[in-house]
Chains A and B, each alone.
Chain A
């Protein structure tokens, strides 16, 4: 990158665009739709009398998401941290306060689903503000870090970043620990990448672990989850996980074949949601599951390539944030489904049913593609 202006002008420069990543994304979204149809058609038929009920809704969000992604990928990502001409505000600041407001709103007016307020209803669609907050956190953290990256060499610099993000993260953590965890991972990853000295990350890692376990063991409904996880075959709350294990294990090496899952027939409640990976295992077997994991790894690889080649630190940090976000969700989801960690509700990116989750992920993909689009190649 350290070229003189003369050299730049002397050669012809092209804007790079990561088409292989775009292809990966489209493939994942389509694969997700196939699996949504496979897992949800039975329940959709049973409840709504229309086997494509969930598929149609998800396809609508998928289509809209892809358009948004393509649009976002053509916008220079630096626009988010520049002051807008008339209102003299940065888009990131607006987004940040909007998210804080929505998170506060959802705690008061949110629709209660299974004992937690996480949803805001807009017409017939319900919207999860914490998904939007993830974008705000990625862009916001990267912005603050980018202002003074050298400060992150000391722990105070890291705490300063945390302090800025605290209002939003605090509001999320109150009701949704697992999203809080994802957001924590995003923030830490961005700060980690920006810092030159990082002994304090080990310390803060311990502190975070301590806080998380405090939450787990002292907030009642979460500690029973631990109990259920430890005795998954006997505990009544372990039902869903146990059914997931049945599905995964009965898939064997080659699976039962697409659409042949037994466990999706009501045994796994809402098998098109967080537990969708278990049905993928049942139908496509170990081969299918590993293939899907490899697809995700390829995606991570593309994001990594974009992150290290980003034209500036801000672009690299955004890509890192998105990588941390997608990777943590994929890994936590698979860990939960395989009963490796106590159960928590994290959807599998691109695949699980959920409009706002898919929209946000595709939006993030758009940002990463926009970072890739700012990479200039000379010939």
Chain B
């Protein structure tokens, strides 16, 4: 056996020294990692361990001008299961599939899936969720959440818009005011294992959500209801494709109502409405096609679709001509039923022609040759100058996304024929809203307004965050021309093509239009009417477009009464008093009188008396000769031609 010599021992010491040296190096490395790199890696590790669970912020509501909620939030629940906490999977499956109306295998698949948390169904109503909660099932989680809810269903659907799955606006005001409405989502940070399982009792970081702000808009729920009702009525009566109706305050551009019939249900925006679905009955729609149809359904045609305004555009031509002194009210014109421009014969809508007439009669008759004449006097350049002043080359700037712009000839390409057709509203396209804004400027004393809905943004506690301001341009035309135009347009309604818009007691001005759709001679028309009241001090202006009416299609015949009916309803509502002229009182049998005392009178006496008083229908009840009771009672003040009930004995 060899001996353990001194040099062997020294060598062992060298080995140990090397080991200690390496140990020191590694300890140094540890110190570096655990002290100097600690923060860097810990932050990374924390990011890896933490899972964010968002807490949805409550979206702000939308209120109409009266403070009525148009878009709000409804509590709904989300049902989820936590695999690791389920103790009785069979019961969970049966309860959930029964109450949620889901197939058993669908629920089973989710219950049996090994995952941190599995969503079974969202948007479950509170009542159903409460029932599920009562079972007290282990591993079943009921989270309360908010769902966007529109109390008025399809009212102004294309204006208000709706929200998507993440509570984000998809169309309409919901998109435009997204930043104000959405609020800031909060979150819960929880620690999880590598398999995503939350660690129980671990400290949670919580960032509270901030609710969104409320939006107050100029839309008036009552006017919208009247307008929508009127639009649907005429759409059904005339089997029209669609009807657009906008009601606005011409003084500042506040939009009271905007109807795009047929509307859709905001609470169910992904289901095709019957008006569209009926064309595809029995067909299986591809996703692409369905998407296209949905987009078509959601389209706000009042601002996104252009059309040839037709005769209503004569308002603009007349305004330009009057402002430029190219025509006087007493100027005389002759209409033989057509006018030759260069090599083209342009017809008037009245086959035999209107014969000799002054300018006032020309506009009342909506005579094309008169406007071709004054258009020619103006020339393209000045005409375009007025288009520009009246905002027809620009989008109106309304606060709804998706607005279209007008389609106009390049001024260099405007020859005599183009100028002639433009004079009475053909060969170019504008949106209905553009026309409404231009006419507003004509009748409000020359102020070009920005049409709008949004008025104020308020915090959930009612504090005003922002009052929305809109651009107006003053004096685009003179006050005098505006006054003249108001009188002319009132004459159109009281004694011209627009007389079906006449409303006794109110001074209504307006202009009819019947635009033939392209291609010509297809027999498809857009009948429209733009009207305002009171004519001497316009406080409300409205435009209605009836797309492809079946049968009679003249704007004066079918569109004007829509506005008359609407105004009849909304003018008193807006606080505009009826004022009857004397002729009106006679013609429309208006006025009041005090009911005399008929009691004790005989039948014979009554016969004579009733000749003096202006009652309507007389109803007699009972067998006898003497009046013992009467209705209305003596001394009451009643309208003329009210019915009278008499009881005899």
Q: Which residues of A come within 8 Å of B, CB atoms?
A: 1, 42, 46, 78, 146, 149, 189, 192-196, 198, 245-253, 262-263, 265-267, 281, 285-286, 289-290, 293, 296-297, 300-301, 304, 307-308, 310-316, 319-320, 323-324, 327, 331, 334-335, 338, 340
Contacts and interface: CB of A to CB of B under 8 A. Distances in A.
Interface stretch (B3-11, B98-106, B525-533): B3-11
A338 B14 CA distance: 25
Contacts of A289: 30, 34
Contacts of A262: 45, 49, 191
Given A192-B14, A297-B23, 5 more contacts: A198-B11, A249-B38, A249-B40, A265-B193, A308-B4
Contact of B38 (A192, A250, A266, A340): A250
18 contacts: A42-B193, A192-B11, A192-B14, A192-B15, A193-B15, A194-B8, A194-B11, A195-B11, A245-B33, A246-B45, A249-B45, A250-B46, A285-B34, A308-B12, A308-B13, A316-B8, A320-B12, A335-B29
A328 B1 CA distance: 28
Contacts of B19: 300, 323, 327, 331
Contacts of B351: none
Given A248-B33, A252-B42, A267-B48, A304 B23 contact: no
Contacts of B128: none
Contacts of B12: 193, 304, 307-308, 316, 319-320, 323
Contact of B4 (A192, A246, A248, A316): A316
A46 B5 CA distance: 56
B15 A245 contact: no
Ranked nearest first, the 6 interchain pairs of A and B with the lowest CB-CB distance are A266-B194, A249-B41, A265-B193, A246-B45, A313-B2, A250-B42
A353 B45 CA distance: 25
B33 A249 contact: yes
B22 interface: yes
Contact of B23 (A250, A251, A253, A293): A293
Interface-centre pick from A248, A262, A293, A324 (highest chain B CB count, 10 A): A262
Nearest to B25: A340
B280 interface: no
Interface in B351-393: none
Nearest to B34: A286
A312 B49 contact: no
Contacts of B37: 245, 249
B44 interface: yes
B276 interface: no
A131 B124 CA distance: 62
B31 to A, nearest CB: 7
Interface in B43-86: 44-46, 48-49
A249 B34 contact: yes
Given A146-B2, A286-B34, A293-B23, A263 B11 contact: no
B195 interface: yes
Contacts of B199: 265
Contacts of A296: 23
Contacts of B30: 248, 281, 286, 289-290, 334, 338
Contact of A246 (B31, B48, B193): B48
Contacts of A146: 1-2
A289 to B, nearest CB: 6
A249 B42 contact: yes
B3 A340 contact: no
Contacts of B191: 262
A248 B199 CA distance: 21
Interface string B190-212: 01011100010000000000000
Contacts of B49: 262, 267
A331 B22 contact: yes
A196 B8 CA distance: 8
Contacts of B8: 193-194, 313, 316
A272 to B, nearest CB: 15
B581 to A, nearest CB: 87
Nearest to B14: A192
Nearest to B39: A249
Contacts of A267: 45, 48-49, 193-194
Contacts of A263: 45
